Structure 1
Amino acid sequence: MVAEADFVCQQSVPVLDVQYLAKGSNILEESVAVTTSLAPQDFDLVRASESVSAELLSSETDFRSAERIPDVDLESAILQFVPSIRSGSFSDIGPRRYMEDEHIKIDDLSSHLGSFYKIPKPSAFYGVFDGHGGPEAAAYIRKNVMRFVFEEVNFPQTSNVDDVFLEEVETSLRKSFLVADLALADDCSVSSSSGTTALTALIFGRLLMVANTGDCRAVLSRKGEAIDMSQDHRPIYPSEKRRVEELGGYIDDGYLNGALSVSRALGDWDMKFPKGSPTPLIAEPEFRQVVLTEDDEFLIIGCDGIWDVMSSQHAVSLVRRGLRRHDDPEQCARDLVMEALRLNTFDNLTVIVVCFSSLDHREPSSPPQRKVRCCSLSAEALCSLRSLLEGSAGN
């Protein structure tokens, strides 16, 4: 199992605890009045990055895009629902000789960053990194991801979740992926043939934002229905194939330049053009985000060792059954890995299960039905019973 990252920050300035509100709403919490500028009519339930083309979104048969989530009463959900965040993870080397997966999970981001950072609460951060060409790139990114995301790119600090904050977070995350990619090129401890995919999930209040480069996947369970919060970056997808070929690359039997099964990754500098030049293999992430409601139960984040043998809906159904039995996200993560192994996956396996609802939000189970056993008596037995009863009454 891969060890999780543990971060300590020495600053200790109180963080403002702010509710996520609709536009024009005011709430008094801990003697602090806060008004946000986010309106349900101005903020789509999910906003995908503009670079995701329609062809790419429709290229998978088992794909229910987050853009297709039906409309809900967002204002009511925003004012009433507060995520109760907890998570569990599990990793296994699988049938491979070497473990190249890494991951990080932080259920309370504000505590890990220290109160020097002023961010909305609750807040959380998760990431999975699927290495290839050796473990160096994935291990390097896992070790340094917090620095890249929150220090090197001037991550926005505010207690208000509004349109400006969302744009700044997306811009900051995009820069952090590109900074991390360049850092891999400059670090002599990382082989130029080593690379990694990367998927991160940030939670601020009721906002869930997923950034993805490569073929890791994030799947949201909404009342038991699987909602893909990322798109696998495969060279065979039409928009990715077109982009690769326009930049001088080619696809051979589903592999980028005949060597790599993904079209986006960090590192792999032996396959990229000199720094600053357009290249078929890019580190640019794509984004999806959603306002969580009480219908959103959990998020599954996994490397492709899971998704190579399991559909998004299969994974959601398995986790949902497990949570109803034991309410343990770590056991659910283990169950997903065991199921992938049973289905003969050929890769390393890493998965994180993030729960958004407390036990009170789970659907109540039906009370057990009392079993009634029926039997029949012969005429002779009935006569004997009648005589017995009449004798007892006479006494």
Structure 2
Amino acid sequence: MGIYLSAPKTEKFSEDGVNSRLRYGLSSMQGWRATMEDAHAALTDLDASTSFFGVYDGHGGKVVAKFCAKYLHQQVLKHEAYLTGDIGTSVQKAFLRMDEMMRGQRGWRELAILGDKINKFTGMLEGLIWSPRSGDRNYQVDDWAFEEGPHSDFSGPTSGCTACVAVLRGNQLVVANAGDSRCVISRSGQAYNLSRDHKPDLEVEKERILEAGGFIHAGRVNGSLNLARAIGDIEFKQNKFLPAEKQIVTANPDVNIVCIYLLCISYVTGLAFSIELIFAFLSKKNI
């Protein structure tokens, strides 16, 4: 999906950070796309004992990826399961919450701001580039109150994004993925996948798609989307008789919980995220 350039934009935007528990580095590049549609969130201190990292690969536009980069980690913090130590459930619910938040007048307004349509203070056109880091005030979580307005019946964006996040607390690593971005861990020099691609031809995905009334053509959902799970893409989530987890395309992630035991910590040498196009050229060992 999307328009491609005649030559790739290879300028890279990089950042790094460190706290008492870990060190991270990241880099992004627009590549062949006409616009940069990807976003990320890197927070070494989601709270005093927890770190959060996420990559969001947009398609059909940048707004859903930017929305997730801004709000998904906040919703992880806000969910009651997080307070009881159930990080896996809080992350899973945060993925589904993104679709809910992007509806209605409030969702339309926020997407318009992130899509450079309006400035939320002046109402004027303004471009916004936003990537959250640990210095941001994560605990000031908006309650997302209902707003009246001309877009109150807005059902959500037609664009979307993948989401692949990792939350680290102590020796517990929680990885959640919806789409085909990937998370890989390096242990003793060997690379291991912590996520799997959600493609329409996978049996579990195909079964859900067909039962929800969709079809698969040329490896694409309804002949259009080459992902079986994504945030956004509201056109594939219109069945009012099915829960969010059972829609043609769902934001419901796979959640993988890995224990990194202290005796083995010296052998765990790295964690890597990747947008899927890299894997067309490199094996996971070469990332």
Match of 1:210 in 2: 175
How many Å apart are 1:245 and its aligned residue? 1.4
Counterpart check, 1:254 vs 2:180 = no
The structure whose Rg is larger is 1
Structure 2 letter corresponding to 1:176: A
Which of 71, 74, 82 in structure 2 is aligned with 1:147? 74
Alignment partner of 2:258 out of 256, 274, 290: 290
Secondary structure, counterpart of 2:236 in structure 1: coil
Contact 2:181–2:273 (8 Å) recurs in 1: yes
> CA distance change for structure 1 residues 91 and 295 in 2, over 3 Å: closer, same or farther?
same
Residue 274 (structure 1) shift: 4.6
1:196 aligned residue (154, 161, 164): 161
For residues 275 and 171 of structure 1, the distance between their equivalents in structure 2, rounded to whole angstroms, comes to 24
Instruction: Tell me the CA shift for residue 2 of structure 1.
Output: 6.0
- Relative to structure 1, the CA distance from residue 147 to residue 271 in structure 2 (aligned partners, 3 Å threshold; closer, same or farther) is same
Which whole-Å CA distance do the structure 1 matches of 2:240 and 2:274 have between them?
Answer: 30
- Structure 1 residue 295: deviation in Å? 1.4
Show structure 1 runs of 4+ deviating over 4 A. Answer: 1-4
Counterpart for residue 176 of structure 1: 94
1:235 aligns with 2:200: yes
Question: Secondary structure of the residue that 2:210 maps to in structure 1?
Answer: helix
Counterparts in 2 of 1:256 and 1:2: CA distance versus 1, 3 Å: farther
> In the TM superposition, what whole-angstrom CA distance separates every residue of 1:219-247 from its partner, at most 9, and x where no partner exists?
00011111100011111122211221122
Tell me, what secondary structure is at the counterpart of 1:234? coil
Question: In structure 2, what is the Cα distance between the partners aligned to 1:239 and 1:298?
Answer: 30
Q: What is the CA deviation profile of residues 44-86 of structure 1, one whole-angstrom value per residue up to 9, with x for unaligned ones? A: xxxxxxxxxxxxxxxxxxxxxxxxxxxxxxxxxxxxxxx9411
* CA–CA distance in structure 2, aligned partners of residues 272 and 289 of structure 1: 28
Q: One-letter code of the match for 1:174?
A: Q
- Structure 2 residues without counterparts, runs of 5 or longer: 1-11, 112-155
**Alpha-carbon separation, structure 2, partners of 1:210 and 1:195:** 20
Question: Is contact 1:127-1:200 (8 Å) kept?
Answer: yes
* Preserved contact between residue 102 and residue 128 of structure 1 (Cα < 8 Å): yes
Equivalent residue letter for 1:133: G
Q: Distance in 2 between matches of 1:107 and 1:241?
A: 37
Match of 2:153 in 1: none
Identity score, percent: 34
Residue type of the alignment partner of 1:141: C
- Corresponding residue for 1:273? 238
Which runs of 5 or more residues in structure 1 are unaligned? Answer: 7-82, 112-120, 159-164, 316-395
2:34 corresponds to 1:88: no
**Which of residues 38, 41, 50 in structure 2 aligns to 1:104?**
41
Q: Equivalences for 1:231-380 in 2 at 5 Å?
A: 231-274=196-239, 277=242, 278-292=246-260, 293=264, 294-315=266-287
Measured in 2, the distance between the counterparts of 1:252 and 1:216 equals 22
Q: Measure, in 1, the Cα distance between the counterparts of 2:65 and 2:236.
A: 17
Report the Cα offset of residue 218 of structure 1.
0.2
The structure-2 alpha-carbon separation of the partners of 1:270 and 1:231, relative to structure 1 and needing over 3 Å to count, comes to same
Shift of 1:276: 6.0
Higher relative contact order (CA 8 A, sep 6+): 1
The CA RMSD over aligned residues, in Å, is: 2.3
Residue identity opposite 1:259 in structure 2: S
What is the aligned partner in structure 1 of residue 56 from structure 2? Answer: 129
Aligned counterparts of 2:23 and 2:272: Cα–Cα separation in 1: 12
Q: CA deviation at 1:170?
A: 1.6
Q: Which has the higher strand share?
A: 2
Task: State the distance in 1 between where 2:241 and 2:30 align.
Answer: 36
Secondary structure of 1:128's counterpart equals strand
Paired letter, 2:108: C
